[in-house]
Structure 1
Amino acid sequence: MSTIDYKSRSKSSEYHDLLHVVSTPEPSGALVLGGVGMGKTSLVDAVMGSIGLSEPAMKLYCSPTLASVPYGVLSPYLDALESVEEPVQVLREINHVLASVPDSDQPRIVVVEDAHFLDAQSCFVLSTLMENAAIKLIALGTGVLEPESTVGQLAQSPLMSTIVVQPLEVSGTRAVAESMIGGILCEISAGTIHRLSGGNPSFVEALIASSLEQGLLVQDKELDYGPSAPQGIWILIQDGIGADSRLTDLVSEIQRLSTDDERRTMELLALGGPASKRILDCGRFEYRRMTDAGQLVETPDGTVALASELHRKVLRLMIPSQRSAQLYQSWQQCTNTLGVEQSASHMLWGLELGQVFTTEQILEAATSALDEGDYSLAWELCRAGKLAHSSGQGALFEADVLLGLGRFESARNILLKFVGAAKEPHLLTLAFSQLLVVVTHLGNNLPLMRDYIQQWREWVLNLPADTESAKAVADQQYAQQLLDLWKRVNSVNAQFPAAEEFERIINDPEFPDEGQIIARLMYCDAESMAGRSEQALAIAQDAIALISDDPKARTLYETRLLFLQGWNLLQMGENHRAQQLLDTYRYGGKRFGVQHQGVVILLMGLADLLQGRSQLAVRRFAEAVAELRFGDPAQVLVCARNLHAMARQYGGGLGTGSSFVVFESPSQYPGLLGETPSHQRVFARGSAATIGRPKGNEKLKDFPVFERMALAQRVSHLSDDELAGSKDLKRLMELCSDHEGTKSQLLLQLSKYRARSEPQPLEELAQKAFRSQEVLIGVEALARAAVRYSEAGDSRTCGTLLRQASRVVNEHRINPNKYVARALALTELTAREAEIVQLALSGKNNAQIARVLTVSQRTVEGHLYRVFSKLGISERSELVVAELDFGTVQ
């Protein structure tokens, strides 16, 4: 089914295994197995193309009808025979047909499609031809090997290799997608496409084509992506791909090529979602063969599901209601027999078929879906069960689900309607609390917040004097206190709360749990800005413990906590821990590309920026901005834009595009989900001050951690003479003394050593920085040590250190600052020196080089001495491994 170029497999083990089979002169063949649409035919085409063949010598098509006919698959080539009863005659005729193929040095390849339907007689003929080295046999089969089948017996031949084509990895999915769009695909979108397709190349192709047609795959050119993506980058703006004719045709073809048992299993999993192996075994649903073939996957909780989410969505729409009812009845019988409880996905299936459930049952199922983080399923249950209209608790639950989906305006509408009609103090307290959460996620609409608080206050004042009312009054006062702190943290020119104010809330056992979480988030913001990263991480860990058992809180705050953890780990210089954190969230979760991934890319960009990979950081930040426009649960979109501008200022702006784009209104992006952007968030304001666009009367010094970043970058360009008496250097040292973490300690040491003339401390500091993965600090320390050695006349040690610095710069893709670049230029060879080195590398001795260049041997020796000094080497043999930088100096 897959028709595009097989770049996605060109480095795979399957490709190289099959290439070996067709290339070896010995008799051999291959049985290529895999699920429908996995690209088996494309794999064969790619291998044949690599050896210069456009078509096989013979292509045979098996089918269930021909499976029972002797020599059925070979019949198109046996017309000259009056009878096909004698194997020898058949063998002779097929040899005759093959002999008519033009002579070639390439092997005669016979490809058998759908080989699982191969008849025994044809199998015998083909095996004999392979054994006689007349052909290379490639048999393509669906699923996995059945030993008792004809093709299973063929595979037992020692001449046959069995190759199982597995689903594509993310990199392979990306290769297929980019070959179709003719551009670069956003990393997050590549992961989303991989998840939706299950790595099936046919689904990848159909998904890309459908997304382009439906306008869901767009090329973003708004920001500068740097020289690696001068034309911008392609982004999948949502994963709700419509089931068009292309996708339905593909799913229909998969169903047609599958057995009855396989079709039945896929339909069950499409309608009811993942199912336990117990249920599948009880209902005699086939799943093991398809799991081995990559069409089905086993989920972490031990259930079995369709590998492609897109496959499930499309197939679900295609199944007739009568067929759906039959499968539902089979499933019900299995669950009743086993005593298995109704799952959320199966309850939705029942609701769609008209089954009757109580509101309590539906709410319980929807809650279980929410507990597992499947907000889409929870929302479908809310709609199918009409929970918002069934009870006050149902309305509040639906608002929770909408919050989890980032649909804050819809949640607000439900809550406003609820508070206008509800009477129960407990439920009204929850509703008002949710309203404030909604408003804080929609931006800094302070008048609206005050209105809600006032409305809440007026309501509690009219309550009767009883225990339940007293709690409602206390909750309102807690909310008022929390909102006051929130406004001071997230408002321009407001006085930032003292640590004691946060501690007062955190240490109050009566303060509501969600208020405790929000207080810790704000406290973590404050400590992060002040450079107290260890304290900020401890606060974040406390908040993580609070949200661990609360699905709603996880949805609303986990991404924010991910950002705060990653930010502080990187600012501390805990680079390994930061990478482990990002790996945990990268490509993960049911809301891939919506919940965490924009923040993951943002943090990857920050890691690049802090390690001097400015050009890579430009692309990362631009990619993060593009993703965060469509889902920003951490409320860092404006910060990402400002960091993008910062990366360009730091040396990455070599692409096309504006240096800084202000994002004024969400109406520019009607597809935006989550937070409408707020310039008043503390990280947005700090990053804005760093790029010279502070808000109100704020200054860079109001945000110490950003000030440290800016000063560290600024002073790194300056020579030792320029640093003497520098106010920036003095201020940087003050900040580093106050801030926590390895990075600050290394920066402080580097700042102190810059004022001293000895090179050895700088050299030792560089190695210490490298051990901490602080490569940018290490490279600058090496460069400054090398310059000191050079000034002291020790050019050989200078060359040794600069060689190491150059190697680190290349390995880590660092964009050297002005100072490091000037230092590295000390190792550049002149044109004459480069010419002599090239001749030396070719094997000529000094006398021979002198004759070639018509100069004296002493001149050659002098040039080589200077080359050895620049490179920090002592022998001619070391030129082979030296990093040579041929300059243009004459």
Structure 2
Amino acid sequence: MNAIDYKSRRKSSEYQDLLHVVSTPEPSGALVLGGVGMGKTSLVDAVMTSTGLSEPAMTLYCSPTLAAVPYGVLSPYLDALASVDEPVQVLREINHVLASVPDSDQPRIVVVEDAQYLDAQSCFVLSTLMENAAIKLIALGAGVLESESIVGQLAQSPLMSTIVVQPLDVSGIRTVAESMLGGTLSESSVGTIHRLSGGNPSFVEALIASSLEQGLLIQDKEMDYGPSAPQGIWLLSQDTIGVDSRLTNLVSEIQRLSTEDERRTLELLALGGPAPKLVLDGGRLEYRRMIDAGQLHELPDDTVALASELHRRVLRLMVPAQRSAELYDSWQQCTSELGMEQSASHVLWGLEVGQSFPTERILDAASSALDEGNYPLAWELCRAGNVAHSSGHGALFEADVLLGLGRFESARNILLRFVGTAKAPHLLTSAFSQLLVVVTNLGNNLPLMRDYIQQWKEWVSSLPSDAESAKAVMDQQFAQQLLDLWVRVNSIDGQFPEAKEFERIINDPNFPDEGQIIARLMYCDAESVVGHSERALSIAQEAIELIADAPKTRALYETRLMFLQCWNLLQLGENQKAQQLLDTYRYGGERFGVQHQGAVVLMLGLSDLLQGRNQSALRRFAEAVTELRFGDPAQVLTFARNLHAMAHELGGSLGTGTASGALESKPEPPELMGETPSRQRVFARASAATIGRPQGSEKLKDFPVFERMALAHKISHLPDEELAGSKDLRRLIELCDEHEGTKSQLLLQLSKYRAQSEPQPLEELAQKAFRSQEVLIGVEALARAAVRYSEAGESRTCGTLLRQASRVVNEQRINPNKYVARALALTELTAREAEIVQLALSGKNNAQIARVLTVSQRTVEGHLYRVFSKLGISERSELVVAELDFGTAQ
């Protein structure tokens, strides 16, 4: 790992602990432990650099061969000795070598690499030198050393500190990656790199370098990311990195530095996937030390896996075929003796080494992978077992897997071939159902949807009159109902279905499960944009319960449901619950991977926007757009584009029916992957109306929640006296009165209190808003209360409230609107006031300040009185803790 990467460690406990060892004058040393590639050497280099040392006085390299030779690791420095039988002679010679190092005020550092192979005699010499304060000993070892080992006994010395280098966290990975890229990395890409690397810095470096060469890391400079990322943002477009020489060399080095037992364990876990501890113990395989070293990690189901997914992929390709077959046979024997069935990963391994399995067994294994949400594994099993050509069930299953992976065109091709050849009614019904799922995810191609429905109708009309045929006819009729509703919800100027139409479907016990889920999604969409957020959340929860045990539908709809849940929680003012939900999905995982993260970043941006963090929202919306170009399972790309425009134009008026000049000057963005299906969605249309680009004859008032957002923003800039008789204010009060949740009630109270002259209700409302984490409403209420107090001559109370508002603005990184900014300016100090405050803070009394400034003491007292009023304080001592704003006031 390069030295630049240790920026990610400088605040870590490992860095601080080693720095203390090197810096303290007392005799001391450190045993630094960690897996291969974890950055132990870089940690030492970084600490030495910070203390002014360019390199160690002595670096010793241990090896298994030298471990059997007395003083073997010291032998390069003992050439002058005819014999090394006497420890005293060896000590004297090493002291002589160290004495030849130029004098320095800094300690002499001796670094021992691969200290697990240190021989006993060398260990004795080094320990003695450390105890005599002749050196600072830093021993670097792989993994966790056994207490009975030589260096393990060294660690028991009271002079030695044991430091275990941990894998990088998300923040550390961002630092390493951005140091290499020279730019900002997207949030979801950081999460993907964390998952692929397992936090191993060497894998992070290799992954970044390989992805750059393979064109998988792309820098987007088209979107406006705001001042925090003026050069754009880097995005990892996919998590399937091609295995190149850089990666194979790294994995080869890890294998070389591992023991035979460790190598065997790594290979087995790479080939067969996560393994139960029972099996590892049965095979007498080493794994506990590697868990402690960060190379392996324990999963919740008491299995063990490689910490780095990239390590697993590369090593899996590197194991020779014969070696793989031998390992498979031994693994099979072990699991058979324990009476354990093969996992899905082991079935795939068996297929790869030439084992034969019945199609039913392969499908069972693939189904098991789906149950775990592992669609890539299910797809590999389908390909290796050729299940699409084995049976009708196999073809439909493969189409299901492709749908779960978001590969809709590939699924469509399989289904069209199947529809042209299949005969069984229940299978054909499934195929037509899947085709409708495909086209609703590919776009609003109404002719194609109707064509499939017509084909389906013609097919069922030709069926004989029996029970199975009757079921097929009913399913087709259900699909027709569902499609009719879908068109009305997801079409410009479509007439929204009434609630009873959705209720009719979701209360019908005969309606297919997937149709029930789709109906609830549409119902939730409709309720969400009209302000029935509590009802929408209830509907979403019902859909979540339906997908809980259905892997395919979970993969298809979980992102959309996450989006709907979070939207409605934020609109209700349930900000903490929304954040907890996003934290569940943030940075992805095997089940909720890179293709879903654009929707997560989008909702993080919306949370920022609703709380006035406009710059943060702008960056996150831009990042979401970039992410969603590569995968948009929730179909929110156009919505993200519109929200980005909304954040960009917050200085103007939203929802006035016309776009601002900046928006008008921009051409419509080209249709990219995922753009077409999202443009007709209700959230996209609603947000388009909010920025003055309504679709068809639609208007902002057709989408009440968005109208509420736009009106609240519009009137928040205005002084209260300008709102007398305002239609906008009356309409906002009407909307807030109709809508559900804390946010609406707070906005309602704020709107009503603005028509009153008393400041106290606004002050109380602000504290109530802060308790609900509605900081933007709270800051505005404080500012308006403060202005009222100022107008009433209560300048000190005004200053107190504005100090609190200023503190919240800074802590929450809020971009205050025009009204709040003007109010906060009341606390700015003039140049003379600032000068007097600085002199007061230096300890001078009023008389001394007057002499320095050559003014009267009364003038100084007058200035301080005005400062105290602006800041809402009453004593000079409070200046120390006051948030001073030395503005430009004259």
Per the TM superposition, whether the score is higher than 0.5 is: yes
Paired letter, 2:251 = V
Q: Deviations over 1:540-592 (max 9, x none)?
A: 11111111111111111111000000000000100011111111111243055
Provide closer, same or farther for how the CA distance between residues 91 and 663 of structure 1 changes in structure 2, counting only shifts above 3 A. Answer: farther
Q: Does 1:838 align with 2:829?
A: no
The answer to whether the 8 Å contact 1:489/1:497 transfers is yes
Which residue is 1:118 aligned to?
118
Whether the aligned pair in 1 keeps the contact of 2:608 and 2:617 (CA below 8 Å) is yes
Aligned runs of 1:850-869 on 2, under 5 Å? 850-869=850-869
Match of 2:656 in 1: none
Written as runs of structure 1 = structure 2, the 5 A alignment for 1:759-778 is 759-778=759-778
Aligned to 1:251: 251
Please list every run of 5 or more consecutive structure 2 residues that lacks an aligned counterpart in the other structure.
654-660
Alignment match, 2:279 = 279
1:37-82: CA deviations, max 9, x gaps? Answer: 1000000000101101110110000111111111111111111111
Per-residue CA shift, 1:348-370, capped at 9, x if unaligned? Answer: 00001110000000000000001
Amino acid at match of 2:277: K
Equivalent AA in structure 2 for residue 827 of structure 1: T
Whole-Å separation in 1 of the counterparts to 2:146 and 2:594: 42
Shift of 1:2: 4.9
Matches of 1:221 and 1:478 in 2, distance apart? 47
Deviations 1:482-523 (A, max 9, x none): 000000000001111111111111111111111111111000
Specify the SS of the correspondent of 1:472: helix
**Contact between 2:585 and 2:592, CA under 8 Å: does it hold in 1?**
no
Cα distance in structure 1, aligned partners of 2:207 and 2:336: 38
C-alpha distance in 1, partners of 2:546/2:532? 22
Alignment of 1:721-760 (within 5 A): 721-760=721-760
Check 1:664–1:224 CA distance in 2 against 1; reply closer, same or farther (3 A cut): closer
Whichever residue aligns with residue 384 of structure 1, its letter is A
Secondary structure of the residue aligned to 2:72 is coil
Q: What is the CA deviation profile of residues 445-491 of structure 1, one whole-angstrom value per residue up to 9, with x for unaligned ones?
A: 00000000000000000000000000000000000000000000000
Shift, 1:599, TM fit? 1.3
Q: Residue 7 in 1 paired to residue 7 in 2?
A: yes
Change (3 A) 1:10 1:680: same
SS at match of 2:224: coil
Instruction: State the alpha-carbon separation in 2 of the partners of residues 658 and 210 from structure 1.
Output: 39
Number of the residue aligned with 2:163: 163
User: Residue 139 of structure 1 aligns with which residue?
Assistant: 139
CA separation of 1:255/1:485 partners in 2, compared to 1, >3 Å: closer, same or farther?
same
Structure 2 CA distance for aligned equivalents of residues 127 and 538 of structure 1: 67
Displacement of 1:596 in angstroms is: 3.2
Deviations 1:643-664 (A, max 9, x none): 01101111499xxx97586665
Question: Equivalents in 2 of 1:634, 1:327: separation in Å?
Answer: 42
The answer as to whether partners of 2:690 and 2:707 remain within 8 angstroms in 1 is: yes
**Alignment check: 8 A CA contact 1:66 1:72 kept:** yes
Q: Secondary structure at the match of 1:755?
A: coil
Deviations 1:12-45 (A, max 9, x none): 1111111111111110000001101100000000
How far, CA to CA, are the matches of 1:697 and 1:676 in structure 2? 20
Q: Distance in 1 between matches of 2:91 and 2:716?
A: 78
Matches within 5 A, 1:406-805: 406-651=406-651, 664-666=669-671, 668=672, 672=673, 676-805=676-805
Q: 3-state DSSP class of the match of 1:420?
A: helix
Residue 241 of structure 2 aligns to a residue whose secondary structure is: coil
CA distance in 2, matches of 1:762, 1:391: 70
Say whether residues 1:58 and 2:51 are aligned partners.
Answer: no
Q: In the alignment, what sits opposite 2:230?
A: 230
Given residue 831 of structure 1, which amino acid in structure 2 is its aligned partner?
A
Partners of 2:443 and 2:677 within 8 A in 1: yes
Give the secondary-structure state (helix, strand or coil) at the position aligned to 1:826: helix
Q: CA deviation at 1:134?
A: 0.4
- The amino acid of 1:280's aligned partner reads L
CA shift for structure 1 position 4 = 3.9
| Gap change, CA 1:677 and 1:487, over 3 Å in 2 | closer
* Contact residue 615 and residue 652 of structure 1 kept, 8 A: no
Q: CA 1:835–1:594 in 2, change beyond 3 Å: closer, same or farther?
A: same
Whole-Å Cα distance in 1 between the matches of residues 597 and 484 of structure 2?
A: 31
The answer for the alignment partner of 2:361 in structure 1 is 361
Residue deviations 1:206-227, cap 9 Å, x none?
A: 0000000100011111210010
Q: What is the rounded CA distance, in whole Å, between the counterparts of 1:451 and 1:592 in structure 2?
A: 33
Residue 153 of structure 1 and its aligned partner are, at CA, apart by 1.1
Cα distance, 1:718–1:679 mapped onto 2, change above 3 Å:
same
Maintained 8 Å contact 1:223/1:658: no
Q: Is the 8 A contact 2:187 2:587 kept in 1?
A: no
**Contact kept? 1:226, 1:652, Cα under 8 Å:** no
How far residue 171 of structure 1 moved from its aligned partner, in angstroms, is 0.8
Alignment of 1:387-398 (within 5 A): 387-398=387-398
Alignment correspondent of 2:325: 325
User: What RMSD, in angstroms, separates the aligned Cα atoms of the two structures?
Assistant: 1.3
Q: How many angstroms apart in 2 are the aligned matches of 1:139 and 1:651?
A: 59
The 8 Å contact of residues 444 and 677 in structure 2, kept in 1 or not, is answered as no
8 Å contact kept, 1:839–1:849? yes
Q: Secondary structure at the match of 1:140?
A: strand
The Cα shift of 1:594 comes to 2.7
How many Å apart are 1:284 and its aligned residue? 1.4
Whole-angstrom distance in 2 between the partners of 1:664 and 1:463? 48
> What secondary structure is seen at the aligned counterpart in 1 of 2:843?
coil
1:349 aligned partner: 349
Which residue identity is paired with 1:551? P
Q: Distance in 1 between matches of 2:663 and 2:58?
A: 59
Deviations 1:335-389 (A, max 9, x none): 1101101110000000011100000000000000011100000000000000100
Q: Match for residue 49 of structure 1?
A: 49
Tell me, in whole angstroms, the C-alpha distance in 1 between the residues paired with 2:875 and 2:533.
Answer: 48
SS in 2 for 1:740: coil
2-structure distance, mates of 1:455, 1:398: 22
Secondary structure of the 1:873 match is coil
Partner of 2:375: 375
Give the TM-score normalised by structure 1.
0.98
- 1:36 and 1:142 in contact (8 A); partners too: yes
3-state DSSP class of the match of 2:111?
strand
Alignment partners' CA distance in 2, 1:502 and 1:663: 34
Which residue is equivalent to 2:657?
none
Inter-CA distance 437–569: structure 2 relative to 1 (3 Å threshold): same
Cα separation, 2, equivalents of 1:203 and 1:627: 23
The equivalent of 1:33 in structure 2 is: 33
Distance 2:395 2:170 in 1: 40
CA–CA distance in structure 2, aligned partners of residues 652 and 722 of structure 1:
17
Distance 1:769 1:270 in 2: 52
Q: What SS does structure 1 have at the residue aligned with 2:650?
A: helix
CA contact (8 A) 2:444 2:676 kept: no
| Alpha carbons 1:224, 1:658 under 8 Å: kept | no
Change (3 A) 1:676 1:74: farther
CA distance in 1 between counterparts of 2:498 and 2:79 reads 93
Alignment correspondent of 2:215 = 215
Shift of 1:678: 2.8
Report the residue type matching 1:67 in the other structure. A
State the one-letter code of the partner of 1:262.
E
Does the residue aligned with 2:589 lie in a helix, a strand or coil? coil
Which stretch shows the higher mean deviation, 746-755 or 581-590? 581-590
- Contact 2:608/2:614 (<8 A) preserved: yes
Aligned partner letter, 1:881: V
Aligned length: 882
